[in-house]
Amino acid sequence: MKEYNILVVCSANKGRSASYHAYMQHLLTEKKIDGINIDSAGVNFRVIEGFHKTSDLGAEPLVKNILVRQGITEIQNHKVKMVDREVLQKSDLVLTYNVEMRNQIREMFPDFAEYVMTVRGFILGTENVNPEILNVDDAYYPNDGKLYRGKIKPQTSKAYAKVCAESKRLAEKTLEKLLRKNE
């Protein structure tokens, strides 16, 4: 299998991308798959900078609790970081949690635009669909996309449980697709 370096990106790198990163790392270890490396980062520079100033660099506590209870201990080592040129240069594929983030990275780093897509777009094999299908809700703002609209309150255990369940599903589907591509 060709070595593949994947970067998954969300807003603050504390919830969605952190949980996806941990789930994917767990799957790779559990299935003894070499050659796929996973990393994560965030695009909300102002928020991430604030985390660095307060040393609040771990995953969102509710996310951490959910994953640790599932035996996904990889989340305990998570450190928040920002998307930057150096992180992108190490990546063969950059997967974002929504269209806005994808576009933001493509605009800020046009050299890497062809490697940046939404995680759902990668799984579907196309991004030429309704953007609501490509967007994955954030537990901070669960009404941004259609998945949770009007169904849950933001920043609750239930909101984070849904985000974590979706991150797990997306990590599994991404890995399935990568393994099929390399058969």
Domain ranges of the chain: 4-125+163-181
Q: What is the pLDDT of residues 29-69, one digit of tens each?
A: 999 999 999 999 999 988 888 887 888 788 999 999 999 99
Mean pLDDT of the chain: 89
- For 121, half-sphere exposure in the C-beta direction (CA atoms, 13 angstrom radius) is 23
> Phi first, then psi: what are they for 116, rounded to 5°?
-110, 125
Residues paired with residue 136 on neighbouring β-strands, in sequence order: none
Determine contact, residues 15/60, Cβ cutoff 8 Å. yes
Those residues whose C-beta lies under 8 Å from the C-beta of residue 30, and which sit 6 or more positions away, are: none
Higher pLDDT, 133 or 137: 133
CB atoms within 10 A of CB 114: 9
CATH topology of domain 4-125+163-181: Rossmann fold (3.40.50)
CA distance 97 to 106: 14
Q: What is the pLDDT of residues 90-104, one digit of tens each?
A: 999 999 999 999 999
> Phi first, then psi: what are they for 93, rounded to 5°?
-145, 130
